[in-house]
Structure 1
Amino acid sequence: VINWDKGKAVNFLLELLGLNNCDDVLPIYIGDDRTDEDAFYVLREGNRGYGILVSSAPKESNAVYSLRDPSEVNLIFN
């Protein structure tokens, strides 16, 4: 069994791409699932980026921001 989660995947990708300590890169992770919490935590705890939870119901999360539904995600990038 491989001990792996989405937070470890975020760390791995940032290190692999050489972006782990870049001041001019701002990772944004958007997720809607409990398994995304590990990625939200990694970004928040290390002050390395922002997690955005997409959920129709308010809930406790490690994400810094939340959106109500996927259509609001489009508003961020338009």
Structure 2
Amino acid sequence: MAKKESENILDKVHKIEKDIHFYKTELLSQRPKEYVEALHKLISMAEANKRQLIGRAHQLEHKEELEEIKAQKILKNKK
């Protein structure tokens, strides 16, 4: 069975979370102030992207659930 679009989005969210963790732990250690500031901007953008993707995934999950319910009703009515 193919992955649902919402699952693909949540996979992307997981990757973003891993990237954010890497930015915060590895890249921020012992760096110049300008580098840290640029990295904080990058982290903020990644977190905003993550929030948008989570919202989109929730919308798609709801849509997919409704489609499944509709398909089940159609199958039930055919019997």
Scaled by the length of structure 1, the TM-score of the pair is 0.21
Structure of higher RCO (CA pairs closer than 8 Å, 6+ residues apart): 2
Q: Which structure is larger by alpha-carbon Rg, 1 or 2?
A: 2
**Higher fraction of helix:** 2
Scaled by the length of structure 2, the TM-score of the pair is 0.21
